[in-house]
């Protein structure tokens, strides 16, 4: 272990220390690694720890497609500008896959099958012994068909193996001085389209423009612009609801989204809630 990582480890809260040690043990036993990297807190922490432990036996890989927002692209670029970690990019063609485009409840399964299938192929071609991702224990408590695809392909999820939850990932990332420790969750743009409504590149582009506009207005970044064809349902942090009591602000938002092609512009009074699209059906997670 590098001296830097050893020093940082001592600052991690006691309740996480045992899990952190278990995570390090899991990673240190791997001969070489391909780390799926999206720029979020999960994959950033996983990559940092793996790199500190295994050095040049670690490669990061990012699957690029229209489902990845520009802000995610920028965050990934900035990370590797500051860290000397080998990084490769591949193009993922899920937006050309009819199974993904039809957008049924297994959409994420088809997407992960494509993306991680390409990663597994890259690992095999380059004699890398393991592909890992940043799935965590909390992902087992929601409907995540992508997890099934990952298991089928043989991808490992060290956070799940070590029993580490999202809150603990944030705590560890903060203790290691990773600036993304409190970064809001930023799922792929396809999650803004209700199940059963086809995914198109045009819809993804509109969603990205809408969310970027709202963030540029200074709203708390926990934002979703849910695309219902003629209607957009905006989810915000509840602390920002009061901004919409101002008529000029409200009309500015309405005008922008109507320019994007929406007929109705709505604000979800429940506020931002990750995975809200899964409320349309009941899934047995056991």
Lowest mean pLDDT among 57-61, 177-181, 247-251: 177-181
Query: What does pTM read for this prediction?
Result: 0.88
Domains in the chain: boundaries: 3-175, 189-280
Ramachandran angles phi, psi of 191, nearest 5°: -70, -10
Specify the pLDDT at position 216. Answer: 96
The residue whose two tokens read 């959409």 is 107
Q: Kindly report, residue by residue over 174-207, the tens digit of the pLDDT.
A: 999 999 999 988 889 999 999 999 999 999 999 9
- pLDDT mean over 32-43: 97
CATH fold of the domain at 189-280: Alpha-Beta Plaits (3.30.70)
Q: Kindly report, residue by residue over 72-108, the tens digit of the pLDDT.
A: 999 999 999 999 999 999 999 999 999 999 999 999 9
Q: Kindly report, residue by residue over 3-12, the tens digit of the pLDDT.
A: 555 555 555 5
Distance from C-alpha of 149 to C-alpha of 22, rounded to nearest angstrom: 25
Q: CATH top-level class for 3-175? A: alpha beta
Give 218-250 as a DSSP string: T--S--EEEEETTEEEEE--GGGGGGGGSHHHH
pLDDT band for position 143 (cuts 50, 70, 90): confident
């Amino acid at each position: 272990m590098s001296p830097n990582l050893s020093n940082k480890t001592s600052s991690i809260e006691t309740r996480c220390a045992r899990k952190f040690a278990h995570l390090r043990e899991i990673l240190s036993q791997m001969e070489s690694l391909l780390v799926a990297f999206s720029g979020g807190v999960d994959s950033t922490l996983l990559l940092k720890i793996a790199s500190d432990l295994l050095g040049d036996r670690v490669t990061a890989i990012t699957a690029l497609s229209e489902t990845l927002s520009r802000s995610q692209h920028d965050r990934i670029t900035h990370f590797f500008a500051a860290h000397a970690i080998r990084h490769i990019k591949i193009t993922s063609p899920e937006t050309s896959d009819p199974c993904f485009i039809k957008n049924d409840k297994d959409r994420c399964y088809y997407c992960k099958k494509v993306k991680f299938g390409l990663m597994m192929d890259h690992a095999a071609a380059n004699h890398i012994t393991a592909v890992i991702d940043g799935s965590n224990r909390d992902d087992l408590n929601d409907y995540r068909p992508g997890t099934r695809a990952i298991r089928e392909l043989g991808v490992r999820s060290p956070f799940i193996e070590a029993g580490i939850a999202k809150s603990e990932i944030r705590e560890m990332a903060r203790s290691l001085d990773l600036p993304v420790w409190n970064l809001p969750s930023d799922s792929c743009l396809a999650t803004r389209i209700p199940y059963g409504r086809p995914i198109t590149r045009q819809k993804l582009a509109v969603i990205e423009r809408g969310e970027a506009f709202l963030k540029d207005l200074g709203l708390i970044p926990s934002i979703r612009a849910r695309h219902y064809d003629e209607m957009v349902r905006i989810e915000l942090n509840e602390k920002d609801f009061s901004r919409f009591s101002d008529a000029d602000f409200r009309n500015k938002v309405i005008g922008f989204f109507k320019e994007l092609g929406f007929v109705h512009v709505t604000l979800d009074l429940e506020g931002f809630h990750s995975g809200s699209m899964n409320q349309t059906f009941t899934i047995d997670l056991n």
